[in-house]
Amino acid sequence: VSANKRTVVLSCADPNSFPETPDGELKPQGQVLGSAFDAALRRALFCVSTESGRYSTNALKLELRGSVFRVVGTDGHRLSVAEGTARTEGSSTFSALLPHSTATILSRLGLADEPRWVEFSISGSEQEFNLFVLPDGTQLITRRGQGQFPNYENVLPKAPLEARVVFRRDELLEGLAKLSPTARKAEVPAVKLELSHSPVSIKTENDGTANSVALEHTRVSGKARDIGFNLHYLTQYVKSLETDTISMKLFSKAICEVALFDAFRYQHLLMPLRV
């Protein structure tokens, strides 16, 4: 390429190596609201495992259920279920796995403020491709994820509620940041929410050093108990929210040890640590 007395030599790829557009009938599955889809991806992506195992936890699951879509991500220690508005034919249901790379690209396409619809179809001779058509006409074609996604609905708590805790988001985030230098020195960075104390506090210990931060604006109702979490996991969840408060549900340890954080159209399940 020559211009203004300068010549630049560029390497070129063989056009025959470029992936071909999949053949076969295009089967539209529905539409998802762009802004809601972007939010759901962000709220589930940080839970996706980077390792492959018995179940396909290195992918997100996209479900279309009538007027609602779900994006689900898990790594076996935590689970995010984010919902949004969808449009499908009748009350039909459909699901597909989105590889981590596909979900990451979709989250970077500027859909956060998009009030229009993203169309979703499957194609290919064996329906092995996902096709996303953005409101501006941009198309993203990807291979569908393979494997079996875990039955996440079986782990969503159905036991009676034992306690509800409401944190002020900025206070909890600030507390986690103050404890981070001490907690990160441990092999597993753990923090303990001391819900049985008044005021509630968050604490970490490592190699003879203990740090504690009071969470004075936290409200507890029901039978409170102390509970520990992975510092990184809890921090990632708190940062994924834009609300002023954070709600956590606790259940009887004898029936269900997990903690469920719930927000509007967003549930996050987190396994506790013994601390």
Write out pLDDT tens, residues 178-201. 999 999 988 899 999 999 999 999
Quote the distance between the C-alpha of residue 140 and its chain's center: 21
Rg of the chain's alpha carbons, rounded to an integer?
22
Helix (H, G, I), strand (E, B) or coil at 90: coil
Instruction: Report all structural domains of the chain as residue ranges with CATH numbers, in order of start.
Output: 27-147 (3.10.150.10), 161-270 (3.10.150.10)
Which residues fall within 8 angstroms of residue 198, CB to CB, at 6 or more apart? none
Residue 17: CA atoms inside 13 Å, Cβ hemisphere, count?
Answer: 3
pLDDT tens digits, the chain, 275 residues: what are they?
899 889 999 888 887 776 676 776 788 899 999 999 999 999 999 999 877 665 678 899 999 999 999 999 999 899 999 999 999 977 778 999 999 999 999 999 999 999 999 999 998 877 888 999 999 999 999 988 888 999 999 999 988 999 999 999 999 999 999 999 999 988 899 999 999 999 999 999 988 889 999 999 999 999 989 999 999 999 999 999 999 999 999 998 877 789 999 999 999 999 999 87
Q: Which amino acid is at 263?
A: A
φ, ψ for residue 176 (rounded to 5)?
A: -60, -40
Structure pTM? Answer: 0.88
Q: Is 124 left (phi over 0), alpha (psi -120 to 50) or beta?
A: left
Write out pLDDT tens, residues 26-45. 888 999 999 999 999 999 99
Report d(CA 266, CA 261) in Å as an integer: 8
Report d(CA 197, CA 7) in Å as an integer: 71
For the chain, give the percent of residues with pLDDT over 70.
Answer: 95
